[in-house]
Structure 1
Amino acid sequence: MGCAGSREKVDGTSKKIQKPKAWKHSEAITRAQLMQMREEFWDTAPHYGGRKEIWDALRAAAEADLNLAQAIVDSAGVIVQNPDLTICYDERGAKYELPKYVLSEPTNLIRDS
């Protein structure tokens, strides 16, 4: 029996998504640099394995608010290992690793003026 706030399915494949913990990039970066890093990741991610439709669902979830992100991963059949979406699996067992920079902003982000 879980706590009232638990979203764990009976088969244990779905965890409630949480906002990633604060993180700091190795050096201060601008929003434009962060967006370029994200685009490069999403452009190359499918080449590391897994299914394109799962990568697309993970991108949509990463760019959505928490409630919508939860609905996206649940409907795509994504198995969330880490609640911040950094490690997920599809129903076939393929692993999907997302870097924190695609999920949230660093604490040392330089604000564009």
Structure 2
Amino acid sequence: MAHTLPRVKRGYVYIMTNGPSGTLYVGVTSAIAARVAQHRAGEGSEFCRRHRLTRLVHVERYGTITEAIAREKQLKAWQRGWKLNLIGRSNPEWADLYPTLHLD
């Protein structure tokens, strides 16, 4: 009799903004494309809706949602300048990464 292991949900940490060096929102999800689509439609967080944060500028993929949550907490504790540098290194043009998502 074969035993199947429970499927472990991967996780993503992401940063949304309203423009280069604009307001930042750090989030975590197990379904990045669907979650960003919610933000873009104004159905995500109240903070994103209020500040019109529709541009995805940073994504990190993790093997488990637990790892992603730990990283989200770490990034939320970072100074704003550190977050700006992180985005600048991974996405110097601050391009919207949503159209390139093929992760879910």
Scaled to the shorter chain, the TM-score interval is under 0.3
Q: TM-score, normalised by structure 2?
A: 0.21
More strand by share: 2
